[in-house]
Amino acid sequence: MPIKPYITKEETYLTSLRRWFHMHPEPSSAEYETCKKITGELDALGIPYQLIGGTGITAVIRGEKPGKGKIIALRADMDALSMDDLKQVPYASQNKGCCHACGHDVHMAALLGAAKVLQEKKVDFAGEVRLFFQPAEEIGGGAKFFIEAGLLDSVHRIFGAHVAPMLDSDSVAIVEGSRNASCDYFRIDVKGRGAHAATPEKGVDALYAATQIVNNLQSIVARNTAPGDAVLVAVGKLHAGTQYNILAENATLEGTTRAFTSESRRFTNERVTRIAEETANMFGATASVTCKAFAAPLINDPAATREAHAVAASIFDEAHIHTNYEKALWADDFAYFLEQVQGVYVLIGTKDKHADHPPIPLHHGMFDVDERALLTLCNLYVDFALSYMG
């Protein structure tokens, strides 16, 4: 059961788009040239659109078949990562310090390809396909623009996807229920009192208090969380002090929490605040905690998951459809769409089985994809929409 002919005929278009996006990556909330490229393609296809959140785009394809029909949304994220592209390929990033190392170039190209096919097929369906080109996924800020604009109103289904470098490019993972963890950011500012290092009793060492906070935060997972409930608390940054022989008056910690349920997410974040404040107090310091919510737990709707599986089964045999693929502690603010609308988030394999090296993980400067995955994702976008709208 191969990729459909109306998709394979767009292979050159898909590949050229993906390589353009890969060569011109832009960071979160600054996807200006990316936005121009997408709107230029939509203009050429005759598909109406409007800008959302500055650099985001929503476009609409209205079916011409008689009847009211249903409304479905298809989403692709747009932003790249602030890191160097280390690959020596003709389509390597031309923007120093920025790289599509998370596959969003694939997502955008595939959704534009799907737009082209669906525009050609609009006489075959009733209803409406809404295309969401979403900025700022990497910082958990883009989905809210579409929700606040009311673009999910009356939507019956939403479909999203992400590349998966550990999966073969002729495979997909479609898993019901919990798929990705939540992602929240915390910053802890510890205030002490400076003193000469030779007279520590005259001061309050903010650095020492901060290190004890780091240690005590580990108790959330080790002693406050059930062993079967996957939760993560990580501190990735600690800055303190001004000179080697002065007690640090101030210290700042930054980190993240991850959880697969709303209950665990709420409990974990509450414990971060309590532990920081009470640990600092033990040493005579004070701590103030700032939290930012980047993404909710991503939970696939059962009905939408079954529908996506049926579509995938018309393209691949069952051996290439993974239904028990391990869930991941990475996050995606597509989760906020799933809190509003029944939908599904699938993983698209991008590993080249014939490559002479192990697959490169996401967020690495050498990350690349087997571009046959473009056909898979484009086909899923198109057929999920057509199937659901009948």
Where exactly are the structural domains of the chain?
5-181+297-388, 183-295
* Main-chain phi, psi angles of 308, to 5 degrees: -65, -40
Task: Give pLDDT, residue 1.
Answer: 58
**Which residue ranges in the chain fall short of pLDDT 70?**
1
Crossing angle between the packed helical segments 104-120 and 373-388, to the nearest 10 degrees: 50
CA angle at residue 181 from 378 to 237, to 5 degrees?
115
Which residues, in sequence order, are CB contacts of 5 under 8 Å at separation 6+? none
End-to-end Cα, the chain, rounded Å: 20
For the domain covering 183-295, report its CATH number.
3.30.70.360
Task: Give pLDDT, residue 343.
Answer: 98
Is there a contact between 135 and 108 (Cβ–Cβ < 8 Å)? no
Single-letter code of the amino acid located at 328: A
Query: How many residues are given for the chain?
Result: 390
CA distance 144 to 140: 9
pTM for the full predicted model = 0.94
Task: Give pLDDT, residue 259.
Answer: 98
For the domain covering 5-181+297-388, report its CATH number.
3.40.630.10
